[in-house]
């Protein structure tokens, strides 16, 4: 996961290279802008080989 930030604004890029689903910590990500992820109480949920760009 890559998360460059300036002040309180952040763009998070998440990538899953595995075949199976993975759940990553969401930090302060609030919205999926692109890709195939979902946000829930557990974090950023990515399917196998999935990616996402998220914003706070």
| pLDDT beyond 60 at 5 | no
Its domain, for residue 18, covers: 5-55
Q: Two tokens at 43?
A: 């974090």
Residue 9's pLDDT band (cuts 50, 70, 90):
confident
At 11-54, the pLDDT tens digits run 888 999 999 999 999 878 899 999 999 999 889 999 999 999 99
* Cβ-Cβ contacts under 8 Å for 17 (sequence gap 6 or more): 49
Could you give the CA distance from residue 17 to residue 37 in angstroms, rounded to a whole number? 14
pLDDT for position 29: 87
| Structural domain total, the chain | 1
| Cα radius of gyration rounded to whole Å, the chain | 10
């Amino acid at each position: 996961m890559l998360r460059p930030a300036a002040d309180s604004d952040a763009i998070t890029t998440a990538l899953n290279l595995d075949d199976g689903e993975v759940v990553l910590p969401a930090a302060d990500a609030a919205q999926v802008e692109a890709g195939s992820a979902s946000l829930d109480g557990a974090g950023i949920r990515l399917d196998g080989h999935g990616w996402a760009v998220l914003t706070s």
